[in-house]
């Protein structure tokens, strides 16, 4: 059957949403080798044209850095023939094989009314009670109307007034966050003395939400009655503090350099750990009444074995207080929503609405099967056990042609590349999930080799080269794999990359500059990056099969309102995992369970925190506290009280609590120190033992002992020691460093033995576990020392054979851990040790040697910039404060030499770039002036 004129792509059989888009008359794309060519145009028909782009042709015999542009007259569309260059990979063709069937045209939900039909779908409706400025900000960011389920949820009795708690679930992309944002902002704006805490599991999510909320509250004022202002004017300014009218949004997370305190914020956007510390401090200082609302995003994290108990602790404390604090919890992956709502005494709401429909497919042995429902798919596969092949028993709707290329001999790889290239060729974004960091880079490289080299817009290519220049200018340098893939429109994203690398790559993908992004599953839960097509290459992440919740998270990235009108997910399955995948597709979402069970030891920390902060002390009060836990809802009450008594006994035996004569409990000074420093009891006891030894003989003639003390226990616990590297670093230490390591328990002879024997640390007995902890921590301390000595991240990563992202994670986490160590010493009244450690903490935060500490306080001045400024004549803070802004521009040009060199080619761009740096220099000088004046004022007062 010949294709109808004007429809050059697949027009018969099964069509995806991408096929349909290609058939639109406004869509034009160069043909790809390995894909169907458009039919020959009839004589006399004019060639297709595009006036919106200039086409660029890559020379097949040159590297991607040598780009030959094909210039054409305005309106001409360059459509050269494709001749594969030597060694270039060609993606396999995807062909329809089924009979004409139901069209998979993107489904439009015509039953959803708009604001003109239903006024409740506009946030301007008076029943929501939102200020015009707030609604205008929502509209400026694309929220011009809301969905019926959001309206129904918001208008449920008591929610908008903050009288009821709320637990709700809705699919990814279904608009969950908007409900919480409206409730939180309304509560904060209408009650100007009350604050909000928004809890998110990952730093990347905190940073993303910060930007969003700051744009939402721009120029929005809190409702402060006039009589309140007048009453304040008549009082002494020392005893009354006038309320701020603006809404202040602050981020609290590991590595954050914010100086804002609880008193300086209205909405605190926090990681789980920071939120718990804020609440503890507020309870201890008796200002918890300032808190008006707590939002728990990703509530399914209650079940997380490492951090879930902290969420449960927060909710338990808030429930026990019975204050006027509204709790809002939400997630896309809750199955026992009603039970969680009962625990919180909350209203629950379940939405299944997705504004963008998603089509789901299973890909097996180069064949694509639509999975209308997981049950139907499971039943089909079950019938195939005796069949010679699946395609014989169930004809697929489409097949992916086999490839003669050695790189595509694996059907899973062949399918992944074909689907990714097919998406990119249609102008959409493809998100590919794979099982490991190494696989991300390998798959990104393979996909980039098969990306079409024709039809790339010259402006787009220029932006990709700009992206490479930005990546190259980062302190970590340019990853060699990214250098090859980015220019072809492919990137990768995983936890082994630095934060700056991940941000740049994610931003480029979001802007459609990168067409394909290959990621580990951490991206599914971490950053909001939707795709037209999600491709899951294998159902294993690492060695483990993904769970139903993570699978839903990954699939939920397909299609997003405002970006796409449809979405597709493809789960590519290998033969060995076929049955497991079918079980996975059939599996229900797991129920959320408490992390305070005995084997997880969470209740021990929960009780210590409650008693240390004054929430509970007597037996009855402690029992009341336990009743407020999720654990109490999930086990028999006798078992819950038995776990409670065991935990209390352990805490007393460890001298974290004391049992008084009236049978009440009180935290010891050690217990108070453990809670104040936000350590788990086990970690607090380990730190206590090490600090006690340090008090007897702290090695002060060097810094190795301090670096060891500031090395986070959590990072060290997962550190894999390279014993040869360990020995090399010990060999380079001076006498002071050797003495410090021997003092904490590291013996150079033992390290040498481990190098020669090739053995690994034993961790069977308590003594072996402690020894392992010390050696892992000492090895990690070398990395921390290198960071503070301004060694580049890339050098450290190479030296210790670890990902650059792991080095940066160490740098971020050591800030919070170091602050905890200092607080611990202060609570224990070890003031001299606290002073010594606090001084070194500044160096850690700056990531620089002592001579740069002053300058790294200045806005925009990090360690590398500070070193350049110092080496070029601006030797201290005073010199920076007295400098002319224009004199700093040449130094700032050195920070990103490639970008400066590139802009010099184009005079207009060079001028624009110089002006941008001049404004940055003005900010630096102004910031230096403020800090210098503050220091001078302190000196005068002293």
Domain ranges of the chain: 119-228+243-350, 598-667, 681-847, 857-941
312 contacts: CB under 8 Å, gap ≥ 6:
302, 594, 595, 596, 602, 606, 629, 630, 631
414/91 Cα distance (integer angstroms): 8
| Residue 477, number of CB atoms within 10 A of its CB | 17
- Cβ 445 vs Cβ 485: under 8 Å: yes
119/114 Cα distance (integer angstroms): 8
Q: What is the pLDDT of residue 800?
A: 94
Neighbour-count burial of 273, counting CB atoms closer than 10 A to its CB (0-12 exposed, 13-18 middle, 19+ buried)? middle
Q: What is the pLDDT of residue 917?
A: 84
Q: What is the pLDDT of residue 109?
A: 47
- Cβ 656 vs Cβ 674: under 8 Å: yes
Q: Dihedrals φ, ψ of 362, to 5°?
A: -110, 135
The CA distances from residue 13 to 34, 367, 391, 393, 399, in Å, are 19, 15, 17, 19, 12
CA Rg value for the chain: 30
Q: Dihedrals φ, ψ of 840, to 5°?
A: -70, -25
The continuous run of DSSP H or E covering 326 comes out as strand 326-331
Class of domain 681-847: mainly alpha
459 contacts: CB under 8 Å, gap ≥ 6:
54
Q: Which residues of the chain have pLDDT under 50?
A: 1-14, 21, 24-87, 100-110, 230-241, 373-375, 386-388
Is residue 185 classed as helix, strand or coil in its secondary structure?
Answer: helix
| Secondary structure of 1-30 as H, E, C letters | CCCCCCCCCCCCCCCCHHHHHHCCCCCCCC
261/246 Cα distance (integer angstroms): 16
294/325 Cα distance (integer angstroms): 7
Q: Which of 636, 662, 659, 633 is nearest to 648 (CA)?
A: 659
Tokens of 915: 């002006």
- Cβ 530 vs Cβ 564: under 8 Å: yes
Q: Per-residue DSSP letters for 189-258?
A: HHSTT-EEEEEESSHHHHHHHHHHHHHHTTT-B----HHHHHHHHTS-TTT--PPPSBPPEEEE-TT---
The continuous run of DSSP H or E covering 490 comes out as strand 490-493
Write down the H helix ranges in 285-398. Answer: 308-321, 337-344, 374-382, 390-393
- Cβ 624 vs Cβ 616: under 8 Å: yes
- Cβ 210 vs Cβ 249: under 8 Å: yes
The CATH architecture to which 119-228+243-350 belongs is 3-Layer(aba) Sandwich (3.40)
Tally of residues, the chain: 942
DSSP annotation of 264: G
| Backbone φ/ψ region at 529: left (φ over 0), alpha (ψ -120 to 50), beta | beta
63/46 Cα distance (integer angstroms): 34
Q: What is the pLDDT of residue 788?
A: 81
- Cβ 37 vs Cβ 79: under 8 Å: no
Query: In CATH, which of 2.130.10.10, 1.10.10.10, 1.20.1300.10, 3.10.20.600 is domain 598-667?
Result: 1.10.10.10
Q: Parallel, antiparallel, or unpaired for β 567-573 and 533-537?
A: parallel
Q: Which of 273, 252, 270 is nearest to 261 (CA)?
A: 252
Is residue 568 classed as helix, strand or coil in its secondary structure?
Answer: strand
DSSP annotation of 373: -
830 contacts: CB under 8 Å, gap ≥ 6:
691, 695
576/745 Cα distance (integer angstroms): 47
- Give the number of C-alpha atoms closer than 13 A to the C-alpha of residue 141, restricted to the C-beta side: 15
Q: How far is CA 551 from the centre of its chain?
A: 17
The continuous run of DSSP H or E covering 169 comes out as strand 165-169
Neighbour-count burial of 475, counting CB atoms closer than 10 A to its CB (0-12 exposed, 13-18 middle, 19+ buried)? middle
64/84 Cα distance (integer angstroms): 15
The CA distances from residue 5 to 16, 38, 472, in Å, are 20, 9, 48
| Residue 698, number of CB atoms within 10 A of its CB | 17
The continuous run of DSSP H or E covering 283 comes out as helix 272-284
The CA distances from residue 471 to 479, 495, 504, 915, in Å, are 8, 16, 8, 22
- Beta sheet of 454-457, edge-to-edge order: 67-69, 55-58, 454-457
Place of tokens 């990235």: 557
603/305 Cα distance (integer angstroms): 13
Q: Parallel, antiparallel, or unpaired for β 367-370 and 94-96?
A: unpaired
The CA distances from residue 938 to 35, 733, 839, 933, in Å, are 72, 39, 18, 9
240 contacts: CB under 8 Å, gap ≥ 6:
232
Q: What is the pLDDT of residue 155?
A: 94
- Cβ 810 vs Cβ 782: under 8 Å: no
Q: What is the pLDDT of residue 390?
A: 60
pLDDT digits (tens, 9 = 90+) for 330-363: 998 888 888 999 999 999 999 988 888 888 888 8
Tokens of 747: 């013996």
764/762 Cα distance (integer angstroms): 6
Evaluate the CA torsion angle 402, 405, 406, 410 in order and state its sign.
Answer: negative
632/619 Cα distance (integer angstroms): 16
Q: What is the pLDDT of residue 105?
A: 41
């Amino acid at each position: 059957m010949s294709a109808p004129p004007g429809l050059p792509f697949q027009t018969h059989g099964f069509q995806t949403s991408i096929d349909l888009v290609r058939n639109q008359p406004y869509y034009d794309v160069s043909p790809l080798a390995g894909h169907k060519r458009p039919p020959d145009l009839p004589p006399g028909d004019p060639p297709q044209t595009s006036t919106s782009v200039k086409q660029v042709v890559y020379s097949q015999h040159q590297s991607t850095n040598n780009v030959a542009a094909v210039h054409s007259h305005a309106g001409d569309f360059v459509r050269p023939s494709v001749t594969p260059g030597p060694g270039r990979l060609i993606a396999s063709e995807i062909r329809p094989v089924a009979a004409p069937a139901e069209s998979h045209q993107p489904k439009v939900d015509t039953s959803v009314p708009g604001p003109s039909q239903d006024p409740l779908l506009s946030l301007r409706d008076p029943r929501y009670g939102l200020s015009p400025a707030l609604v205008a900000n929502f509209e400026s960011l694309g929220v011009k109307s809301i969905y019926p389920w959001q309206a129904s949820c918001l208008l449920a009795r008591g929610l908008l007034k903050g009288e009821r708690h709320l637990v709700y679930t809705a699919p990814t992309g279904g608009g969950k966050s908007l409900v919480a944002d409206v409730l939180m902002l309304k509560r904060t704006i209408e009650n100007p003395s009350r604050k909000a805490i928004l809890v998110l599991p990952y730093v990347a999510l905190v940073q993303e939400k910060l930007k969003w909320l700051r744009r939402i509250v721009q120029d929005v004022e809190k409702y402060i009655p006039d009589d309140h202002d007048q009453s304040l004017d008549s009082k002494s300014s020392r005893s009354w503090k006038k309320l701020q009218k603006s809404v202040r949004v602050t981020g609290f997370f590991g590595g954050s350099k914010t100086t804002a305190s609880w008193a300086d914020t209205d909405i605190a956007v926090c990681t789980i750990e920071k939120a718990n510390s804020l609440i503890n401090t507020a309870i201890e200082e008796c200002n918890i009444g300032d808190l008006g609302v707590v939002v728990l995003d990703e509530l399914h994290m209650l079940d997380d074995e490492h951090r879930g108990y902290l969420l449960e602790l927060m909710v338990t404390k808030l429930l026990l207080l019975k204050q006027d604090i509204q709790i809002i919890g939400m997630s896309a992956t809750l199955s026992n929503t009603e039970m969680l709502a009962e625990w919180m005494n909350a209203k629950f709401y379940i939405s299944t609405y997705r504004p963008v429909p998603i089509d789901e497919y299973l890909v097996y042995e180069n064949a694509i099967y639509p999975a209308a429902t997981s049950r139907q798919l499971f039943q089909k596969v079950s019938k195939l056990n005796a069949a010679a092949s699946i395609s014989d028993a169930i004809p697929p709707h489409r097949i992916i042609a086999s490839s003669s290329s050695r790189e595509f001999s694996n059907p899973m790889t062949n399918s992944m590349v074909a689907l990714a290239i097919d998406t990119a060729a249609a102008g959409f974004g493809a998100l590919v999930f794979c099982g490991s960091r190494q696989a991300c880079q390998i798959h990104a490289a393979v996909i980039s080799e098969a990306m079409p080299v024709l039809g790339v817009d010259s402006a787009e290519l220029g932006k990709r080269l700009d992206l490479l220049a930005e990546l190259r200018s980062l302190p970590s340098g340019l990853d060699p794999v990214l250098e090859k893939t980015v220019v072809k429109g492919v990137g990768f994203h995983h936890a082994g990359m630095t934060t700056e690398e991940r941000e740049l790559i994610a931003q480029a993908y979001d802007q459609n500059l990168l067409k394909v992004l290959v990621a580990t599953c951490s991206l599914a839960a971490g950053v909001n990056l939707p795709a037209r097509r999600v491709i899951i290459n294998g159902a294993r992440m690492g060695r483990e099969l993904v769970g139903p919740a993570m699978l839903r998270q990954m699939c939920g990235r397909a299609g997003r309102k405002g970006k796409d009108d449809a979405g597709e997910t493809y789960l590519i399955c290998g033969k060995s995992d076929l049955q497991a995948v079918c079980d996975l597709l059939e599996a229900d979402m797991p129920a959320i369970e408490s992390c305070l069970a005995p084997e997880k030891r969470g209740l021990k920390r929960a009780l210590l925190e409650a008693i240390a902060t004054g929430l509970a002390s007597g037996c009855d009060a402690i029992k009341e506290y336990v009743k407020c836990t999720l654990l109490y809802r999930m086990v028999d009450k006798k078992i819950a009280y038995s776990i409670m008594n065991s935990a209390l006994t352990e805490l007393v035996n460890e001298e974290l609590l004391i049992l008084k004569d009236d049978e009440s409990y009180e935290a010891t000074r050690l217990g108070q120190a453990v809670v104040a420093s936000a350590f788990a009891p086990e970690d607090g006891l380990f730190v206590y033992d090490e600090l006690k030894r340090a008090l007897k003989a702290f090695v002060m003639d060097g810094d190795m002992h301090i670096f060891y003390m500031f090395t986070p226990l959590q990072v060290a616990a997962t550190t894999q020691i390279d014993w040869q590297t360990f020995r090399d670093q010990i060999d380079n230490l001076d006498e002071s460093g050797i003495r410090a390591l021997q003092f904490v328990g590291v013996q150079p002879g033992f390290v040498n033995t481990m190098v020669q024997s090739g053995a690994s640390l034993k961790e069977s007995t308590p003594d072996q576990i402690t020894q392992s902890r010390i050696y892992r921590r000492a090895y990690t301390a070398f990395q921390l020392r290198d960071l503070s000595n301004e060694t580049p991240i890339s050098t450290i990563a190479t030296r210790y054979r670890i990902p650059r992202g792991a080095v940066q994670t160490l740098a971020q986490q050591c800030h919070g851990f170091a602050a905890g160590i200092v607080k611990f010493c202060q609570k224990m009244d070890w003031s001299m040790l606290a002073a010594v450690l606090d001084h070194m903490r500044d160096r850690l935060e700056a990531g620089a040697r002592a001579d740069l500490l002053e300058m790294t306080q200045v806005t925009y001045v990090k360690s590398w910039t500070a070193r350049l400024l110092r080496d070029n004549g601006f030797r201290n803070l005073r010199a920076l404060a007295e400098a002319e802004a224009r004199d700093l521009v040449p130094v700032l040009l050195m920070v990103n030499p490639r970008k400066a060199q590139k802009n010099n080619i184009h005079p207009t761009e060079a001028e624009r770039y110089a002006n941008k740096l001049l404004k940055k220099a003005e900010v630096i000088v102004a910031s230096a002036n403020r800090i210098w004046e503050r220091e001078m004022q302190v000196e005068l007062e002293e």
